Homo-oligomer: A and B are copies of this chain.
Amino acid sequence: MERNIDMLIRHHGLKDKIVSAEEAASWIKDGMTLGLSGFTRAGDAKAVPMALVEKSKHDPLKVNVYTGASLGADIDKIMSEANIINKRMPFQADAAMRSKINKGDMYFVDQHLSHCAEWIRTNVWEPIDFAIVEALSISEDGMIIPTTSVGNSSIFVENAKAVIIELNTTQPLALEGLHDIYEAGPQGNRNPIPITKVSDRIGTIGIPVDPDKIKGIVISNIPDSPSTIVPPDEETQTMANHLMDFLRLEIKAGRLGNNLPPLQSGVGSVANAVMHGLLESEFTDLEVYSEVLQDAMFDLIDAGKIKFASGCSMTLSEEKLNQVYPNLEKYRDKLVLRPQEISNHPEVIRRLGLISINTALEVDIYGNVNSTHVLGTKMMNGIGGSGDFARNSRIAIFVTKSVAKHGAISSIVPFVSHVDHTEHDVDVIVTEQGYADLRGLAPKERVLKIIENCAHPMYKEQLREYYEEALKKGGQTPHVLEKAFSWHTNFAEKGTMLQEIKQHS
């Protein structure tokens, strides 16, 4: 799609900053720190990182790479395979990069997504040499209009020594006006964030930037990668039903009104499928205050179920994207994209009283959740925003299938091999087996609910046996520490968590 450059760069005096991606990449030196736009495959800087990888082949270098969250267009893959990354923050979801991280070839700092901006603002992370952000256009007053994500772009731009803009001509111009950029300001000299409703707009439609800081503008035509979520299956549909049963009981008990609080849903297939389950439900007038707006959100908007959705990125499958992009006008008054500091801010999450739905990797019998580490050691993707939401939501729900690898792994274990969400922050567990409402329960009250309602039948007896043995040792949270990780070591040795069940004496 050819676009008139005057439409893309409306600010006078910036057009002469257009450079090739290769030239922009040539400015990047060994040891520098880059802040790349991009959140869950949406709105990521693409051309310059690709050119940087090419350059590195004859001019080896290492850089620190900060992003909003995961990148698309194989950027994380090619950067990690080219070994150009020293340290990556705060989230990734790429198999090649994961492998490099777990081999120890690069550092990965796994951080709450709402905290990144504070780390940058207070100069705790390495200072950013170049913010490289994808944009739809540059406005008359010099604001950078983001594309499909805001993520950390605004804090990168504000704090970087220099800015490179990738004007992406494949992104629909109708995205302009969807964003709401707000800078919280320094701690200790900051006002309350004035959001009291999901739909509140509190900032500007673009990222303010000192034009002198813009070192180059690159024209790009590389589209966002479509999302890779898999469609709902029978088990995720069952999980969605359990979740809705829980919500119905809350309404019946008078703990929730008929209009649900705003919903948040984590990234990924399971959370997406669970949201999708609301389509056929009686729930209407839904509101969403989340980070990523996935397919299910747009299906729910199309069905007239969601009246407003706030996020920091939109990541759609190819099919959904082809439906949404030509009709963006119709979503205009129902969507807003904010910086991830604001979409994930504890202040707003607590004030609005969200119901949050996030994916667990494993859960233990007392309700602690591992979201990040396979067998306690290998990084999967990162905690992302799950901690931002779970800690401060009105109801923090975690969803997981009860087993993985055809039953060789139980998602319910005696002791999670890594803790991302403590017992203090986990309210409800949902698996395809059922749900466990843990709110207001002491650890020993939680155990049986989790085992009986959520564990897979093939693991229930084994879990009961562990708990019964632990119970003999006493304590607030009984454990047999010698055996706490035996399920994981069993899997590592024998390829299954299933143990031979001993007879009760």
A-side residues, CB < 8 A to B, are 87, 89, 101-104, 107-112, 115, 118-119, 122-126, 186-188, 190-194, 196, 253-255, 261-262, 345-347, 350-353, 368, 373, 375-379, 383, 387, 391-392, 394, 417-424, 439-442, 444-445, 470-471, 473-479, 481-482, 484-485, 488-489, 492
Contacts and interface: CB of A to CB of B under 8 A. Distances in A.
19 contacts: A101-B476, A103-B474, A109-B442, A111-B424, A124-B439, A125-B440, A187-B394, A188-B353, A192-B192, A192-B347, A347-B350, A347-B351, A377-B476, A377-B478, A377-B481, A419-B422, A420-B422, A481-B488, A485-B485
Given A481-B376, A489-B482, A261 B187 contact: yes
Contact of A187 (B350, B477, B488): B350
Nearest to A262: B188
B377 A439 contact: no
Most buried by B among A254, A442, A470: A442
Task: Report copies per complex.
Answer: 2
Contacts of A423: 110
Nearest to A470: B377
Contacts of A474: 102-104, 377-378
Contacts of A420: 422, 424
A124 B441 CA distance: 10
A191 B196 contact: yes
A254 B123 contact: yes
A346 B352 contact: no
Given A187-B351, A196-B191, A442 B87 contact: yes
Contact of A112 (B376, B424, B481): B424
A369 B300 CA distance: 41
A350 to B, nearest CB: 6
Nearest to A119: B440
Contacts of A442: 87, 107-109
Contacts of A353: 118, 122, 186-188, 190
A391 B394 contact: no
Given A101-B476, A187-B351, A190-B351, 14 more contacts: A87-B442, A104-B444, A107-B444, A112-B424, A122-B255, A123-B253, A188-B262, A376-B484, A377-B476, A378-B474, A378-B475, A383-B424, A419-B422, A481-B492
Given A107-B442, A476-B377, A255 B123 contact: yes
